[in-house]
Amino acid sequence: MRVVIQRVTEASVEIEKKVKGRIGTGLLVLAGICPDDTEEDLAWLASKIAQLRIFSDEAGKMNLSVQDVNGDILVISQFTLFANTKKGNRPSYIGAAPPAIAIPLYERFVTLLKTALGKPVQTGEFGADMKVSLLNDGPVTIIIDSKNKE
């Protein structure tokens, strides 16, 4: 599983001009699933995201987690994180899990993230055409791949 995490002061996702999810201070998480992702990958990433210290403390040092600042999380499925651009100019997405595999893993990841955060998590809708808006704070953008956890 691969995620792009953006620290935000606000973020939202619209589907067909209707807001599906919205947060204030917190994390926008773009999540890509690959076919060989496991429960261990999902749990490791959920815990890592909830505890990642990328919010500033009173001294201005990034030393606080989203939990510490009572922030929220918005998760958006993003198969394009597994784009392969080695050949030609049209990306290939064969590294991304097909919907039959990805949807249950994505839903399980959201559940694990809710548990790790200790409160509800906002989401988009898997496979939908979404319009994501955000105000990146910092900017702080971090990429984590569960296959590189060691």
Q: State pLDDT tens for residues 4-61.
A: 999 999 999 999 999 999 999 999 999 999 999 999 999 999 999 999 999 999 999 9
Write down the pTM of the prediction: 0.95
User: What domains lie within the chain, and their CATH numbers?
Assistant: 2-148 (3.50.80.10)
User: What's the whole-number mean pLDDT along residues 94-122?
Assistant: 96
Q: State pLDDT tens for residues 85-97.
A: 999 999 999 999 9
Helix, strand counts (H, E) of the chain = 2, 8
What pLDDT was estimated at residue 63?
A: 97
80 is catalytic: yes
User: What's the whole-number mean pLDDT along residues 112-117?
Assistant: 97
Coil, helix or strand at residue 110: helix
Catalytic residue among 38, 51, 80, 141: 80
Nearest Cα neighbor of 77 from 109, 39, 40 is 109
Catalytic residue among 78, 122, 123, 126: 78
51 is catalytic: no
